[in-house]
Amino acid sequence: MLERVSRTLGGAAPAARGLRAVLAAALLTVATYAVAVDLRGDHPDTYVVKRGDTLWDIAGRFLKKPWLWPEIWQANPQIKNPHLIYPGDVLSLAYLGRVASASVQPGPRTEAPINAIPLAQIEPFLKDLRVVDSIDELPYVVGLEEDRLRGSNGQLAYVRGLQDATPGTRYLIVRPQKRYRLLERAGLCCDRVVTQDLDARGKPLLSGDSYWSEVVFPTKNAEFLGYELMTQSTGTVTRGEVGGIQAATVLLDSEGREVRVGDRLIPVQAQPYDLQFFPHPPKQQLPYGRLQVMAVADMYTTAGPRDVIAISGGSRQGIDNGTVFSIWRRGHSVTDRVKDGLDRDEDLTLFENKVRLPDEYAGHAMVFRTFGDVSYALVMSSVKPTRVGYELKHPDAPY
């Protein structure tokens, strides 16, 4: 409809262009209201926001699709900031046919606004995990005080690559622990995400699985997604590379994890991540197979509600904080034993002769920290465990 209006008014005089803008705005307003009325039948007339509430939980009481919660508030221009809802606010809903309107009666504003999810559940991942495109240029620990194998709070680490660092400069000591890649299986069933553990030098540890992948799939078909870094500690430069000394001295000054030779350093940032997350659908749907679950936090193999997963997409794919995806178990391809015979061997059946089964819905996840080609997301709801290799789709995907 918008396209039809645009074509009709495209060649109009300047005076008509204002009318075009008014009509477009009106149509967008109608569209907003149409989305907002997808409400649950058992909604309350009013709701008082309580401490401990989350936007996701509140939207789950009102809407069938919690990731569309801003539509309730954004459909009402009298609300100055629909993103800031506080404990004590009274949310009232009134309905007239298929049109919904809402108004907020402000509370005392004595507490911080509520978030989409409790920050305590994701704070360790916000502070301790990050993904970078390269680690080769990062300064690294080359030795420790008294030739120790591990260093901790109050001890010294000696670092190469800090030639210009001045005393008092603070750094995070991080450890490269994984390398993420996406292998294109040309002519076969699907792409494959590869997660490789790294040694003390930041080089991939070869295992039977990674060796098999490297041999079967040429490196040129692999899309590098990033290195995952885990924060180990923080440190302050006490002496630079002076007097012929080829390593700077860094005093470890936090009760973090132990530091070892090979750990890297990155500058401390005051606030490198967001503290507010607003659920919304993705801006675009990427090709099937591009977005997958690459890893589950804490070395688990499956994830349930409130578990963190790493996914193979980030800001370069238009993903931002708050983006909601549905999670799907990829449908297997099986031999048609009714047609081909009960004794047909699965391994001897060509892929193109197999029957592709439907994907199976597992749950929803919301992105809370995004990097170039990798993001971290929190599983918000699930009907079955989420596993590495599961697909990510638009939250409204029917299959």
Check which CATH number belongs to the domain holding 383 and give it.
2.40.10
Q: What is the pLDDT of residue 50?
A: 87
Q: Is 318 left (phi over 0), alpha (psi -120 to 50) or beta?
A: left
- Find the radius of gyration of the CA atoms of the chain: 26
Q: Is the pLDDT of residue 74 over 80?
A: no
Q: Is 256 exposed, middle or buried (0-12, 13-18, 19+ CB in 10 A)?
A: middle
Domain that holds residue 31: 2-105
- Residue ending a domain, among 69, 89, 105, is 105
Question: 399 in a domain, yes or no?
Answer: no
**Which stretch of 75-79, 233-237, 253-257 has the lowest confidence by average pLDDT?**
75-79
Looking at the fold, whether 373 and 339 belong to one and the same domain comes out as yes
Q: What is the mean pLDDT of residues 190-196?
A: 70
Q: With contact defined as beta carbons under 8 Å apart, do 40 and 62 qualify?
A: yes
Looking at the fold, whether 154 and 249 belong to one and the same domain comes out as yes
Higher per-residue pLDDT: 93 or 369: 369
Question: 119 in a domain, yes or no?
Answer: no
Question: 188 in a domain, yes or no?
Answer: yes
DSSP 1-63: -HHHHHHHHTT--HHHHHHHHHHHHHHHHHHHHHHHT-B-TT--SEEE--TT--HHHHHHHHB
Question: 281 in a domain, yes or no?
Answer: no
Q: Which of 320, 131, 300, 319 is nearest to 225 (CA)?
A: 131
Computed over every residue of the chain, the mean pLDDT equals 77
Question: 126 in a domain, yes or no?
Answer: no
Q: With contact defined as beta carbons under 8 Å apart, do 144 and 150 qualify?
A: yes
**Which stretch of 40-49, 222-231, 330-339 has the lowest confidence by average pLDDT?**
40-49
Looking at the fold, whether 100 and 136 belong to one and the same domain comes out as no
In angstroms, rounded to a whole number, what is the distance separating the alpha carbons of residues 359 and 190? 13
Looking at the fold, whether 137 and 260 belong to one and the same domain comes out as yes
Question: 116 in a domain, yes or no?
Answer: no
Q: Is the pLDDT of residue 242 over 90?
A: no
Q: What is the mean pLDDT of residues 159-163?
A: 94
Sheet containing strand 375-382, edge to edge, reads 293-296, 308-311, 375-382, 360-370, 324-329, 391-393
Question: 192 in a domain, yes or no?
Answer: yes
Q: What is the mean pLDDT of residues 45-53?
A: 81
Q: What is the pLDDT of residue 213?
A: 46
In angstroms, rounded to a whole number, what is the distance separating the alpha carbons of residues 91 and 88? 9
Q: Which of 330, 373, 357 is nearest to 192 (CA)?
A: 330
Per the structure, the count of domains in the chain is 3
Q: With contact defined as beta carbons under 8 Å apart, do 43 and 95 qualify?
A: no
Looking at the fold, whether 39 and 90 belong to one and the same domain comes out as yes
**Which stretch of 118-122, 339-343, 360-364 has the lowest confidence by average pLDDT?**
339-343
DSSP 383: S
Q: With contact defined as beta carbons under 8 Å apart, do 298 and 376 qualify?
A: no
Higher per-residue pLDDT: 138 or 336: 138
The CB density around residue 155, as the number of other CB atoms within 10 Å, is 19
CA 290 to chain CA centroid, Å, is 14
DSSP 315: G
Q: Is 104 exposed, middle or buried (0-12, 13-18, 19+ CB in 10 A)?
A: buried
Q: Is the pLDDT of residue 95 over 50?
A: no
Q: Which of 230, 375, 389 is nearest to 312 (CA)?
A: 375
Q: What is the pLDDT of residue 354?
A: 81
